[in-house]
Structure formats: structure tokens, C-alpha cells
Amino acid sequence: MPGLDRYARAYAPGRVELLGNHTDYNEGVVLAAAIDRGLTVSGNAREDGVISIMSTTMGLVEIARAELQPRTGEQRWANYVLGVANELSARGIPVSGFSAEVDGDLPSGNGLSSSAALAVATAFFLLKLYERELPRLDIAKICRMAEHRFAGVQSGLLDQVTSIFGKADYAVFFDARTEEVRTIPFPTNLSLLIAETGAQRELVTGKYNDRRDETRAAAQTLNVRALRDISLAQLTERSDLAPLLRRRATHVVAENDRVWRAAELLERGDGFGFGKLMNESHESSRTNFENSSPALDLLVDLARGFPDVLGSRLTGGGFGGATVTLCERAQTKNIAQKLGAAYAEKTGINPRIFVCQVSSGAR
């Protein structure tokens, strides 16, 4: 065990999902990017067997290492830290007591994967603290399992992979079945604008797990391992799906197709074509997957009305949260001001809007 005076610090960025909405847990493909906002976890080992986690925004959580289990109520945010400690311990890494402080500029509950960033930063922090190394994809899987077991969200692997494998000025392509990860150049003349609705969303109590169950049921009815294994043409020919499951399946199957096409477009530097696919994605989320919201739809519709906007869609799990808008870099600040003013006029809410730089991954 390292000396108790040993200090460690780790940072993990949030991510913006560019295309591939709810495809990862259906063994599909996704395009995402790490962003220049994230969370830092820092601290020391301690000898009294206590895990102490302090957040500048969420407060203090302390628990005896011997009684490690998920927290409830207002302390649930700490489950992403505790879950990672539990998973690392299960893999033979002697995680004992430690003190950790969480800080950063990544907002929570808005579709930018603050939970995955917290888990990833914790994993890198504890591995540094206890002088261990693991392959990066294994770290992503540990963080996902922590989310499953301690936070109760049956998420896919996209968020963790993007936070770890992100690269400045490159999008991250992830194949959830083959676990292929590669980076694709992002057009340097374009920027991403993140706009928050001001409405919090909660994946555990929301409908994220419902959508996972619905897509699994659709795959079972279609007699395929996952919705990855059927084409839109084949889906159209099937008459044995209930209307609800057909809409859910249509979204996922078409979304996979959009990701494959988008990867080719980005390789060619075709930002206009990419933006059109973002628009198509949001319309499918709105009508087929029903994971949008009136506030998200309003932000998207307003953004699309401005010149120099190439595309706009919800990002992340949906049901509130944030949108991502692709626009000409030179006009980004102007578009942000106009979008904020138009949304405030319609809703009375001044949304947080910021220009998003495509950033490097955890470190």
C-alpha cells in the first residue's frame, strides 16, 4: 500500500453525444466527443478505514470501508465514487480508506455525462493512489459496472469510453458490439454549442431503463440478438411488432445507419451533411423514441432557425437536459446570444449556453 501521505489527482471530461442516441446498449454504433468541461477528483489515502468524499456543490459523504454500499436520498451522487471503489476492490486492488474532493465545471443532470466523468475521474484517481494500472477499456467497463450496481442505471459503455478515449479536435467512434474505438477528425471550421434547458432530468427515476426494456423486447420479438442485427428494409417487412415497439426499434435501427453515414461524412470533412443527420436524429427522438421534451424541442427548433446553424438535436439520454448544435465557428458566439435570448423570451428561463471545444480524455 502506498504511503498515507501520498496524494493523487485525476481529471475526466464530460462528453457530448453527436449521433447514436440509445444505440450503445443495443450493440450499435455511436459518435461522441469529449468536451472541455469535466470533473477533478483529488485526495489522499487514510488509515482509519473511512471513505470521505467532499463535493463543492453536493456536500460531504462519509462511510466506513467495511460497510461499503449504495447511499440513498441526497447522498446518491456519491454512489459513482463508491461504486468504483467497490469494483476495483473486487478486482484485487486494495482500496482501503481515502479522502477525496470532487470539483469541476461540468453541470449535472443535463445530458453531458457528469456521472460517467465522476466515475472515470475516481477510477483514475484510485489507480494512481494505489499505484496500479489497467487497460483503458477495462477502466471504462469498471465504471459502467459501478453505475449498474451502485447507481441503478443500466447504461451502455459510450459515456465512459468517450471520457477516457477523447482526443482534442477528434470525434470518438465506438462500436458497442466489437468494442472498436477510433477517432475521426472533426471539422476545424465548425463548433459545437451546448444549450441547457434548465430542466433537470433523472435517469434512474425517469424512463431510461424503460427504453432499454422496450428495445430489448423489440429485439426478442424480431428474433435477433440486438437491434443492430436488422436493417430498416427488414424492419419494414415485419408485421409482428406492436406499434410502440416498432417506433422504438425504428429509432435505434435508423440511428445506427445515421452513425455509419456520419462517420464517412466526417472523414470527408462534410459538416453540412453531418448536420442534416443530426436534424434527422432529433426528429426520430421526438416521434419514435419519445425521449425528447417540449423544452428540448424548443431549443432545437429555435437553433435551426438561425443562419450558419448546420444541425441541432438533443444529446444524451433525453427527457430534459441539453441540446447540441453544430454551427460555423465564426458565428458561434452570435448564435449563442441569439438562442439564449429567444429561449428566454419563450420560457422566462435564461439557459446556460456555452461553446464546446472537442477535448482530450481523462488524465
Task: Point out the residues that are catalytic.
Answer: 159
250, 289 contact by CB (below 8 A): no
The Cβ-side half-sphere exposure at 85, using a 13 Å CA radius, reads 26
DSSP letter string over 19-86? Answer: E-TT-GGGT-EEEEEEEEEEEEEEEEE-SSSEEEEEETTTEEEEEEGGG-----GGGGGGHHHHHHHH
Residue 217 amino acid letter: A
Give the C-alpha separation, 168 to 22, whole Å: 24
**What is the bridge-based pairing of β-strands 98-104 and 59-64?**
unpaired
Sign of CA dihedral 355, 359, 362, 363: negative
Q: List, in order, residues 6 or more apart from 241 with CB less than 8 Å away.
A: 218, 221, 222, 249
Give, in order, the Cα–Cα distances in Å from 17 to each of 35, 97, 267, 349. Answer: 10, 35, 18, 24
CA 345 and chain centroid, separation: 29
Give CA angle at 277 (272, 280), nearest 5°: 130
Instruction: Report the greatest alpha carbon distance in the chain.
Output: 65
Beta carbons within 10 angstroms of residue 236's beta carbon: 11
Residue 198 backbone class (left: φ over 0; alpha: ψ -120 to 50; beta: rest) = left
Enter the C-alpha cell of residue 35. Answer: 468536451
User: What crossing angle do the helices spanning 332-347 and 294-304 adopt, rounded to 10°?
Assistant: 140
DSSP string for 219-232: HHHHT-SSGGG--H
206: burial class by Cβ within 10 Å (0-12, 13-18, 19+)? middle
